[in-house]
Structure formats: structure tokens, C-alpha cells
């Protein structure tokens, strides 16, 4: 690893001031699982690290308008085991549960993972399907962005120099709705996905027709991808083989996978459709069960 | 670019001055002489460098020592009592939970953390917790048996 200065400020304002002063030379560190690994591999060589670990208040999971607000320093393990998250948005706890190993989940933080902008990660996929928003602080103040707009390119987020992620806000999960996260993982259980799909389905008052659906995919492009054309096809439809087939075909044209050691682009495109079909089926089943329960 | 840090390592307060780029693993091994924790993959995947930070298992090879300033670290050297091995260590010996031994410190520390968190784990819970500790000798069955044995003895 290269030599660098290290600062561990105790307030966010202090951290933002240090970032402003050092510009491109500085990187933010939280859990360090991504950054230290990249530094060890000499992929990045920052001359200044600003740790957020000593800043109080960024490590909380709070109830917010029926949903949850998760601070940037909350670890993956804390989301996975949070009673509040498990009660309000179980698919989110399940998604964090699927990341790497328990050991890495103890270290990796929610904000750090978002800022890392690796398109193979699990949480962004589900956060997009849930309509979550990222809270960002910079010298100019606070701004919010839907998670789907946060990712710009391969390992590139919408964070401007000097900005940090401070929280992710997940809205209330609607009534008569279901969600699923399906991670296709043919190698080891702690691997990144070959293809991952999160889906949410909300039903009309009749408990049969789709009011709205959201489909997000990971590991099939340079960023996580939302399949809006497939979502639009489902609106107003009843569940059935025809609808599912149309949605699956639409997903294929929404993705743009890279060939790597987990599979060729063509293979991942086919599997994206298969896994999307499974995720939609599970989400729809859960939505029906939810609709029956609420009527 | 060095920095002064304070750690509590296996119960003892340690103050040291280290380069900022020192990983926690290198700090333990080179600055404190605790060579039980091993470097395998160096990227947080294999588990040979597993230590506990404030009681939670982490990969010390991708943790910066400066980030552990003010915290408590437990390594494989710190889990036995004065006279007796930790039940997990004894069970690994009795059930043959290791062969070459390179992964064993990490396996033992992870298994201790598991039994601290879940005193009576199911086989599924053992497998899931331990999946980040790679062993290329045992085929894992003896490791699972060792952990099961340690849990049984702790109950008795």
C-alpha cells in the first residue's frame, strides 16, 4: 500500500472540510472492505484518507415515515439482523444476508458499499426495486437522489468531489404488495452474483391485477439496471404465463452484461430473463398473500 | 506518515506508533509479535486472518490498524485460559478439525465468535457462519464436527 495521511474527524462538517481541502487526492473510508482491498492491489493510491468511523450518529437504523432510514456507517450485518428492518422490509434484511460472509458483513457499511458503485453488489438491486433514496452531504448542503440515479458507470457514482453518502432512506412498503430478491450464484455462497434480480409487485384492490411492479437487476451491466419497459408491460395485468413471458423478453433487452469468469454476456442475458421470471413469480405470490391478509 | 494508536489486545493495553498504511494483521504480526493470525488471500476472502474487533469477527488483512485505534482486539493467542485451551481449541484437537494448520487460527477464532453469538448452532448455522473460512485439507466435515463438539461440551 502507498503512504497516506489519515484523519479521523469527530464531526461531519470537519470531514467535509478536510475533503474540500484535499480534493481528488482524498478518499473517504468507512468499513474499508472495498477501499483497503483496492489500495492493497494498487488500483487506487489516495494520499489522504478521511475516516467517517468516529462521527457519531451515522450508525443508526431509524423508523422513518413507515419505512426505515439507515445511516451510512451501519454495517451489512446490522441491517441483516435489525428487528426493525426485518419487520418492515424483510426483503432488505434477506438481501443484506446474501452479501459475502458474516465476517465481511461485520465490516462493510451501507454507505461505503453504495459509494463503491460496484455493479455486482446485492443491496443496490433491492434498494432500487424498493424505491429507496440516497442522502448525500457536501459543502453545498444536503441532497437526495433515487438509488437508481446514483450509479453513473462502472465503479462510478454520482457523488461529486467532496460529497459523502450519509444515509439511505427506504420508503414504507405498500399494502397488498410483495417483494423478492433472487441471487443466481452457481459458484460459492459468498461470491458476487452471476445475475441478481429484485422485484416488487403491488396489486389492485381486486387482489389479482398488477397496480405497479418494479424490477431491478445486478451484475448485468456497468451499473445496476431498472427494467422499466418490463415494469410497464405488467401494469393492469393478471398473473399468467403470457405476462411473465413478455416481461422476461423485455428484461433481456434491458440488460447489457459483461463477459467475465462468471459467464458470457449471452449466458447472463438468458439467465437474467430466467431469474427475473422467478423473482416476479415469488413477488407476485407474496403480494397475493399480502392482499388476502389485508382484506 | 505515522500515527500513534492505542489498542487493547487480548486484554492488555498497547500503545504504539505505526505507519498509517499498516494493516491490522501486519500490526499484530510484526509490531506486536502475535503471529497466530495468518495472511492467506490478502483480500478478505479466505479467513486465515480472522480476529475479533470489539467481539465481532473481521478480516484483519483488509482492516487498517489506525482504524482500530481505541478498540479491543482478540486474536487466537488470546482465547485460551491460563491453564486450559478454549473449548473450541480442545475440540479441534479431539475431533481432528485440522491437518496442515494454516487456516486453523482463523477457523478457531471464527468458531469462538459463532459460539459466543449462537451457543447451540444448528449444522446449517455452523455452515453459514463458517463459509468464509476456507480449508483446503479437511473437506470441512471435521471442522463442523469440532464445532458441534465444542458446543456440546459447553452445554454439559
- Cβ separation A106–B57 shorter than 8 A: yes
List pLDDT tens digits, range B22-78.
999 999 999 999 999 999 999 999 999 999 999 999 999 999 999 999 999 999 999
- Cβ separation B67–A29 shorter than 8 A: yes
Closest by CA to B95, choosing from B145, B134, B130, B150, is B145
Residues of B in contact with A33 (CB under 8 A): 44, 59, 62
Q: Does A187 score more than 90 pLDDT?
A: no
Q: Does domain A5-51 have CATH number 3.30.43.10?
A: yes
C-alpha dist (Å) from residue B75 to A71, A205, B81: 29, 57, 13
- Cβ separation A190–B131 shorter than 8 A: yes
For B46, the grid coordinates are 479466505
- Residue ranges, comma separated, of all CATH 3.10.20.30 domains in chain B are 2-78
Interface test with A, best of B18, B27, B45 (most A CBs within 10 A): B45
C-alpha dist (Å) from residue A205 to A66, A173, A195, A291, B80: 21, 16, 33, 8, 61
Residues of A in contact with B112 (CB under 8 A): none
Q: Give the nearest partner residue to A2 out of B21, B57, B61, using CB atoms.
A: B21
Q: Does A277 score more than 60 pLDDT?
A: yes
> What average pLDDT is seen over chain A?
96
For A112, the grid coordinates are 461505503
- Cβ separation A36–B62 shorter than 8 A: yes
Distance of CA A225 to the CA centre of its chain: 11
How close B58 gets to chain A, by Cα (Å)?
5
List pLDDT tens digits, range A32-61.
999 999 999 999 999 999 999 999 999 999
Contacts of A184 (CB under 8 A, 6+ apart): A193, A194, A195, A196, A271, A274, A275
Residues of B in contact with A49 (CB under 8 A): 20, 64
User: What value does the mean pLDDT take over residues A124-134?
Assistant: 98
How close A235 gets to chain B, by Cα (Å)?
39
Topology adopted by domain B87-155: DNA polymerase; domain 1 (1.10.150)
Give the chain A residue whose CA is nearest to the CA of B59: A103
Per-residue confidence (pLDDT) for residue A104, from 0 to 100: 98
Closest by CA to A277, choosing from A182, A203, A176, A210, is A182
Q: Are residues A253 and A141 in contact, defined by beta-carbon separation less than 8 angstroms? A: no
CA atoms within 13 A on the CB side of A282: 16
Pairing of strands A195-203, A177-184: antiparallel
Closest by CA to B52, choosing from B23, B26, B78, B73, is B73
Closest by CA to A154, choosing from A113, A120, A195, is A120
Q: Report domain B2-78's class.
A: alpha beta
Distance CA A92, CA A179 (A): 9
Q: Are residues A70 and A168 in contact, defined by beta-carbon separation less than 8 angstroms? A: yes
Closest by CA to B24, choosing from A40, A284, A205, A200, is A40
For B78, the grid coordinates are 488470546
Q: Give the nearest partner residue to B67 out of A4, A32, A188, using CB atoms.
A: A32
Contacts of B105 (CB under 8 A, 6+ apart): B36, B37, B38, B48, B50, B75, B76
For A177, the grid coordinates are 404488495
Residues of B in contact with A6 (CB under 8 A): 1, 3, 20, 64, 66
Q: Does B104 score more than 80 pLDDT?
A: yes
DSSP for B80-147, please give it.
S-SSS--HHHHHHHHTT--SS-TTHHHHHHHHHHHHHH-SS--HHHHHHHHTTS--SSS-SHHHHHHH
Q: Does B82 score more than 90 pLDDT?
A: no
Confidence at A186, pLDDT banded by 50, 70, 90: confident
Contacts of B153 (CB under 8 A, 6+ apart): B87, B90, B91
Interface test with B, best of A4, A75, A103, A109 (most B CBs within 10 A): A103
Topology adopted by domain A178-294: Enolase-like; domain 1 (3.30.390)
- Cβ separation B44–A104 shorter than 8 A: yes
How close A197 gets to chain B, by Cα (Å)?
22
Closest by CA to A176, choosing from A127, A211, A125, is A211
Share of chain B above pLDDT 70, in %: 100
Q: Give the nearest partner residue to A4 out of B21, B42, B50, using CB atoms.
A: B21
- Residue ranges, comma separated, of all CATH 1.10.150.120 domains in chain B are 87-155
Distance CA B23, CA A111 (A): 22
List pLDDT tens digits, range A104-126.
999 999 999 999 999 999 999 99
Q: Which residues of chain A approach chain B closer than 8 Å at the C-beta?
A: 1-6, 8, 29, 32-33, 36-37, 39-41, 49, 51, 53, 77, 100-104, 106-107, 188-190
DSSP summary character for residue A292:
H
The pTM (predicted TM-score) of the whole model is: 0.97
Q: Does domain A61-170 have CATH number 3.30.465.10?
A: yes
Please give the residue that has the higher pLDDT: either B39 or A295.
B39
Residues of A in contact with B47 (CB under 8 A): 101, 103
> What average pLDDT is seen over chain B?
97
DSSP for A204-258, please give it.
-TTSSBEEEEEEEEESSSSS-EE-HHHHHHHTTPBSSHHHHHHHHHHHHHH--PP
Q: Are residues A74 and A113 in contact, defined by beta-carbon separation less than 8 angstroms? A: no
How close B47 gets to chain A, by Cα (Å)?
8
Per-residue confidence (pLDDT) for residue B156, from 0 to 100: 75
User: What value does the mean pLDDT take over residues A248-275?
Assistant: 97
Residues of A in contact with B45 (CB under 8 A): 190
- Cβ separation B58–A103 shorter than 8 A: yes
Contacts of A245 (CB under 8 A, 6+ apart): none
Per-residue confidence (pLDDT) for residue A294, from 0 to 100: 67
What is the complex's ipTM, to 2 decimals?
0.96
- Cβ separation A102–B59 shorter than 8 A: no
> Helix or strand or coil: residue B55?
coil
> How many CB atoms are closer than 10 A to CB B89?
21
Per-residue confidence (pLDDT) for residue A295, from 0 to 100: 57
Confidence at B154, pLDDT banded by 50, 70, 90: confident
User: What value does the mean pLDDT take over residues A177-187?
Assistant: 95
Amino acid at each position: 500500500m502507498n503512504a497516506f495521511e489519515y484523519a479521523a474527524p469527530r464531526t461531519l462538517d470537519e470531514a467535509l472540510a478536510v475533503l474540500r481541502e484535499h480534493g481528488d487526492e482524498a478518499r473517504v473510508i468507512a468499513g474499508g472492505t472495498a477501499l483497503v482491498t483496492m489500495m492493497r492491489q494498487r488500483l487506487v493510491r489516495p494520499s489522504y484518507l478521511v475516516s467517517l468511523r468516529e462521527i457519531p450518529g451515522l450508525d443508526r437504523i431509524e423508523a422513518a415515515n413507515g419505512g426505515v432510514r439507515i445511516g451510512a456507517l451501519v454495517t451489512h450485518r446490522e441491517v441483516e439482523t435489525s428487528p426493525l428492518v426485518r419487520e418492515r422490509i424483510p426483503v432488505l434484511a434477506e438481501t443484506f444476508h446474501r452479501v459475502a460472509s458474516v465476517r465481511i458483513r461485520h465490516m462493510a457499511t451501507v454507505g461505503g458499499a453504495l459509494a463503491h458503485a460496484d455493479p455486482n453488489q446485492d443491496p443496490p438491486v433491492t434498494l432500487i426495486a424498493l424505491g429507496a433514496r440516497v442522502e448525500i452531504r457536501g459543502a453545498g448542503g444536503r441532497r437526495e437522489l433515487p438509488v437508481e440515479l446514483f450509479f453513473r458507470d462502472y465503479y462510478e457514482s454520482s457523488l461529486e468531489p467532496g460529497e459523502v453518502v450519509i444515509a439511505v432512506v427506504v420508503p414504507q412498503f405498500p399494502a397488498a404488495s410483495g417483494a423478492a430478491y433472487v441471487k443466481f450464484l452457481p459458484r460459492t455462497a459468498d461470491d458476487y452474483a452471476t445475475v441478481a434480480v429484485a422485484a416488487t409487485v403491488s396489486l389492485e384492490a381486486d387482489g389479482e391485477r398488477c397496480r405497479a411492479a418494479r424490477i431491478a437487476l445486478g451484475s448485468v451491466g456497468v451499473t445496476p439496471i431498472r427494467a422499466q419497459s418490463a415494469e410497464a408491460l405488467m401494469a393492469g395485468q393478471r398473473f399468467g404465463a403470457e405476462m411473465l413471458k413478455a416481461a422476461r423478453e423485455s428484461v433481456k433487452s434491458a440488460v447489457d452484461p459483461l463477459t467475465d469468469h462468471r459467464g458470457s454476456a449471452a449466458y447472463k442475458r438468458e439467465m437474467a430473463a430466467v431469474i427475473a421470471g422467478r423473482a416476479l413469480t415469488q413477488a407476485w405470490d407474496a403480494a397475493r398473500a399480502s392482499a388476502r391478509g389485508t382484506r | 506518515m505515522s500515527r500513534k494508536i492505542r489498542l487493547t489486545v487480548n486484554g492488555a493495553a498497547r500503545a504504539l506508533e505505526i505507519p498509517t498504511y499498516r494493516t491490522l494483521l501486519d500490526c499484530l504480526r510484526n509490531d506486536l509479535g502475535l503471529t497466530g493470525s495468518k495472511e492467506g488471500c490478502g483480500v478478505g476472502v479466505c479467513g486465515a486472518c480472522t480476529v475479533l474487533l470489539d467481539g465481532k469477527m473481521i478480516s484483519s488483512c483488509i482492516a487498517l490498524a489506525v482504524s482500530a485505534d481505541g478498540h479491543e482486539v482478540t486474536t487466537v493467542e488470546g482465547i485460551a485460559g491460563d491453564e486450559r485451551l478454549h473449548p473450541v481449541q480442545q475440540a479441534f484437537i479431539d475431533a481432528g478439525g485440522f491437518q496442515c494448520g494454516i487456516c486453523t487460527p482463523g477457523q478457531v477464532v471464527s468458531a469462538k465468535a459463532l459460539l459466543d453469538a449462537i451457543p447451540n448452532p444448528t449444522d446449517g448455522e455452523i455452515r453459514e457462519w463458517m463459509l468464509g473460512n476456507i480449508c483446503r485439507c479437511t473437506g470441512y466435515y471435521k471442522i463442523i464436527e469440532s464445532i458441534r463438539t465444542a458446543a456440546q461440551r459447553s452445554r454439559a
